[in-house]
Amino acid sequence: MAGIKRRFDTADGRDGKRTKVKDGGRVNKNKPVVESKSKSKKPQPKVESSEDDEEEEDFNFSEEGVDVDDSPSDSEDTTQPQKLKTRSKGLNSSEKQANGTGGGALSVKSGTSSKESHAKQKALAQERKAAKPNSDLIARSKKLWERLRRKSHVPLEERKKLVAELYSIITGRVKEFVFKHDSVRVIQTALKYATPQQRKDIAKELKGNYCSLAESKYAKFLIGKLLVHGDSEVRDIIIPEFYGHVKRLMRHPEASWIVDDIYRTVATATQRAMLLREWYGAEFVVFRPADGVPETADLAEIISKNPEKRGPIMKYLHEFTNHLVQKKFTGFTMLHDAMLQYFLNTTPGSEEAAELVQLILGDEEGDLAKNLAFTKSGARLVSLCFAYSNAKDRKLLLRLYRGTMKMLAGDVNGQVVLLTAYEVIDDTKLSSKSIFPELLNQASTAEARHEELLLQIIDLTARIPVLYPFAEDTTRWLVTDPDHKKILDEVLAIRSQTSKKDPNTRRQELVKAASPTLLEFIAASADSLVEYSFGCQFITEVLFSADAHLRGGC
């Protein structure tokens, strides 16, 4: 560091070695003794050494951190710029510490401790809060919320008094509470304990603000509370406010989820149609059906009435769906419904149909395909893609579901995708190697595999994909859901044109691939299976349909 010099003399009895002595935090140097007479050296200016001493005291330089100048004393003047530079750095550091941005060493000298500084900052924050509108009311309402949210710790009579006081505070001021992350919880708690009339009053007071609430990170949950605890009148106040704003809201990271939840769960058929129609173009946002005319979101019906509009509608719909897929917004039921409407109005093998299939296959992570499989419309769309695609695309599509076979089997919609794969994929080695290792837990130990299979067999939904290859005429007794039967009938009709292998041959090859694992399971767990009606049914179907060469082991 600047200000500390080394003097080197070869005539020193210590072979020119230098020593340093710590004294009170300073670094003092013992100069080597020179025996021979030499030219007297120019003494260092006192001012300079005093500056060095001050610098060392102020910044507590350690011995290890000292920069040493090996130049002789004659070149002492050349080190002045370096000293001044270091000095200026030290002053800047001192200024930072004095301003509270540096370390805590100078804060002690100035008489301000860290605790006092935090206390001042806290006081300033409280002053800022107090200066905001309705700060006292919000503070009091939060105190009431703290009591009310602990339901089991508050007696009924006390809770009634707290709710009454809370409503006396928020009535007429709901808009001022809902856009703040802390006070919006107060309104949610008030809704929880409110009477039906009080809920309607809150819904009416917020009328005209529901799009803004949906876009708020915290206030969007208030809409859910209103719809869950409210009645049809509250629902009819909220949902129509989204008309005309669907495209903007579905592209919003916060609003998209609440709008899709409303569409999927609480909206009526007419309200769902009004929301979905806006996916077909700006015309459907501006112009709405006349009073008394039933709204429809069936794209085929809309195009049949106005064939000239087919091109613009299909283009607009494809661009909007592609935009959401690129943004990874792939889990929305409304998106899946729109994609299904698009595919149903394309010609099989056309460029439009191929574009949609490639949109699904183009998602390398497989999020779109996986999310589609777990909704009613999405499962139908994937099943149709399997049925119409060529062998290469079927292989790529099946590969996207790697790691999710058991989830598909246990889902009421996802199982349809597996059943379709059984029916249309001609390469049974591919389908059996892709599906059965996961579905039948073939990679697990025998004990774990048998335990998992037992749980699957006695489950109403999960047993269907396991039994399907073994059961003949499955749509009569195994697949009972009318919508699933309709999809499978549709797939079987398409299969006659797109698949080459005989259906019985395909089925026998799948049975042969699954038989060893299931026969071993029956032999090891027959006593557990016969305790359940589904277990007895499983044993019967597998033993009658399994590969004849393997049945002797049971």
- Whether residue 491 contacts residue 423, with contact meaning beta carbons closer than 8 Å, is answered with yes
pLDDT score, position 116: 84
Q: What are phi and psi of 67, to 5 degrees?
A: -90, 130
pLDDT score, position 363: 86
Label residue 253 left, alpha or beta by phi (over 0 means left) and psi (-120 to 50 means alpha): alpha
pLDDT in tens, the chain (554 residues): 444 444 444 444 444 445 444 444 444 444 454 444 444 444 454 444 444 444 444 444 344 444 444 444 444 444 444 444 444 444 444 444 444 444 444 444 455 678 888 888 877 776 666 556 666 777 777 788 778 877 667 788 888 888 888 888 888 888 888 888 778 888 888 888 888 999 999 999 999 999 999 999 888 999 999 999 889 999 999 999 999 999 999 999 999 999 999 999 999 999 999 999 999 999 888 877 666 567 889 999 999 999 999 999 999 999 999 999 999 999 999 999 999 999 999 999 899 999 999 999 998 889 999 999 999 999 999 999 999 999 999 999 999 999 999 999 999 999 999 999 999 999 999 999 999 999 999 999 999 999 999 999 999 999 999 999 998 776 678 998 999 999 999 999 999 899 999 999 999 999 999 999 999 999 999 999 999 999 999 999 999 988 766 665 55
Q: Report the distance separating Cα 159 and Cα 192, nearest Å.
A: 12
The DSSP result for 163-190, as a single string, is HHHHHHHHTT-HHHHHTSTTTHHHHHHH
Give the other-Cβ count within 10 Å of 208's Cβ.
Answer: 10
pLDDT score, position 3: 47
Query: Could you tell me the end-to-end alpha-carbon distance of the chain, in angstroms, rounded to an integer?
Result: 88
Structural domain boundaries in the chain? 1-77, 133-242
